[in-house]
Chain A
Amino acid sequence: MPMTNNNDSVTFTVSRPQRQEDRMDSFEVPCDAYTTVLDGLEYIRTRLDATLMYRHSCHHGSCGTCGMVINGEKRLACTTNVRALESETVTIYPLPMFDHVGDLAVDPTGLFKDFPTGADYRRDSEFNRDARVPEEIETFERFENCIECGLCVSACPITIDWMGPAALSAYNRELQKHPERRDELLSRIDVDRGVWPCDRHLRCSAVCPTGVYPAKHIALLKRAAQKRRDGA
């Protein structure tokens, strides 16, 4: 094991409801200054219990698969440093609002139910905006901020069946990039289960790990939808 200095043991307690209702299993995990919650789960799965289920892929906050509830907060396991939690125990539950698969793994299918069709996942890069661009390309581009982790959806206190903050953010980004789709996009979100259920609790923006600020996108969509209704 490559960990070197100052290994303290931390107790990880994980929810395993599909095995038995209310079942919580505890494991002792060595942790140092760099250990993330995902590193801890990897330690458990590869050394203590190979059946532990959780989703993960990139390990650097880019794929959005490892959202879970860590000591009561909805977070990405891969960028949550264990020591920074300042707790001797780490208690983990799967994300609410998604179908449960097993242990800490949820099915992300629901997240994508109301995303816009044909949405562009790339955008112009705003970094070094004045930089000279290679003559072979028109502009520097990058992926959208949204990594589709579902934390916003799981944190939103509105629990009726509605489009939700992730899909609505994608609608507004698409509208910003492709104004020619305005009528089509706004007609989809100006429905009872579209933008209107949002009460601006702002939990979505607070938990977003990549600064999407879904509440801002929903507010902009609401304004655009109202203008369209008013015939503007």
Chain B
Amino acid sequence: MAGEHVLVIGGGGTGAAIIHDLTQRGYHATLVERGELTAGTTGRHHGQLHSGARYAVGDREIARECMDEVRILQRIAPQSLEMNYGLFVATNAEEAAFGDTFIEACNEATIPARDIPVGEAREMEPLLAAGITRAVQVPDGTLDAWRLPLHFFATAKASGAVIKNFTEVVGLHSSGGRVTGARVVEHARQREYDIDADFVINATGAWAGRVCAMVGIDLPVTPAPGSMVAVNKRLNNMVVSRLRPADDGDIIVPQRKQSIIGSTQWKTDDPDSILARHEDIHFLTERAAEMIPAFAEAPFHAAWSAVRPLAGRADGGDGRGLSRDFNCLDHEADDGVAGFMSVVGGKATVLRAMAEKTVDRLGRILGDDIPCGTAETELLPHRAYFNPALS
């Protein structure tokens, strides 16, 4: 039947896609975000639109899902994508040998990956390092990490969703083992009030543990920051990645007039105010230069960090052992707290699919059976969020 009021906490990419999906299926939806939309993790993304090739060797299913979602995003939000494809390049014999495994895994995940003669690859990307011995082309791209979520927010808002930025949840209300709403502070007016809800979805990513702790739930999530460095020169048009299993400093993403090298990974208990580590800045620049030597000479533009929300608990190391898959946790089943779900993990490229699974799950809990239509619904332009006349 739908019609229930669902409160979404967190205005990142996940929250954006969820509130769009909720309004599409006829729910009344409100979203609150403590700062500006996408200010937590989403906006700081280096912007790689993942074909899934990066994950294909480790996890075919995630890779296949990435490829499906790239195809969908090209239909529903093409204006926030630079669809220039990507090259995985080998800088030594070991990496070149990995190419066979890589291509096979990609193809099994429906990702068209093919060898490009090194000479041709260099015609595509003239600044590639001289020592490149193999190049594989995949359908990677770049996304605008602020504007892509705005397409979802704009569409949700036009369908009646209420979206409140600078509105922070300071407590969750519960009664009889059921979450019934949230206490929020609206920072602009320094006003505190309650938002009642039939269901609450916690989409706060790396901060999800804090929201769960408000009702005594210990959530398995590991905040794992990574640093990125941008130079003020576009050195490549295609996304250039290292042909080897995922590791630090293995991707150069072009964006407008910049090139960005990502990333590193460590674990933290406190996802707030994470800065790029100085040692990462030098390390990443050196790694970038191994693929594109001009990176080291290009003017420094910015160094920053984003906190990934990894689903699960990392016992040791940097958390790279944790999956990039996402979990949708029904806290009634897991913790005996009804009316409350958390979404943790995941990746920007698959934001729409995460929302589909989350709202499917919600439908099963509430006894609604409304199909998802977001894969076929073209989104409004990002500017329509601020000016509906630009729809």
Contacts and interface: CB of A to CB of B under 8 A. Distances in A.
B390 A51 contact: no
Interface residues on A, range: 35 or more
A62 B301 CA distance: 11
Contact of A102 (B188, B274, B301): B188
A57 B257 contact: no
Interface string B270-289: 00111111100100000000
Interface stretch (A42-50, A157-165, A191-199): A42-50
A11 interface: no
Nearest to B85: A134
A62 B258 contact: yes
Contacts of A53: 35, 166, 187-188
Interface string A51-83: 101111111111111000000000000110000
A57 B43 CA distance: 5
B84 A58 contact: no
Contacts of A127: 234-235, 237, 254, 257
B228 A62 contact: no
Contacts, number: 191
A113 interface: yes
Given A34-B303, A60-B301, A65-B146, A122 B82 contact: yes
B237 A121 contact: no
A183 B179 CA distance: 57
B147 A121 contact: yes
B217 interface: no
Contacts of A64: 146
A119 B147 CA distance: 14
Contacts of A60: 44, 228, 230, 258, 260, 301-302, 304
A11 to B, nearest CB: 18
A39 interface: yes
Interface stretch (B244-252, B331-339, B381-389): B381-389
Contacts of B382: 121
Interface of A, helix, strand, loop or mixed by DSSP: loop
Instruction: With a 10 A CB-CB cut-off, give which of A1, A45, A57, A117 has the most chain B CB atoms.
Output: A57
Interface string A133-152: 11011001111110110000
A143 B82 contact: yes
B266 to A, nearest CB: 9
A143 B146 contact: no
A34 to B, nearest CB: 6
A76 to B, nearest CB: 10
B37 interface: yes
Nearest to A144: B256
A108 interface: yes
Interface stretch (B117-125, B193-201, B347-355): B117-125
A137 B256 contact: no
Interface stretch (A2-10, A172-180, A213-221, A222-230): A2-10
Interface in B79-96: 79-80, 82-85
A58 B238 contact: no
A187 interface: no
Interface of B: 35-39, 42-44, 47, 78-80, 82-85, 120, 123-127, 137, 139, 142, 144-147, 166, 168, 187-190, 228, 230, 234-238, 254-258, 260, 272-278, 281, 301-304, 381-383, 386-387, 389-390
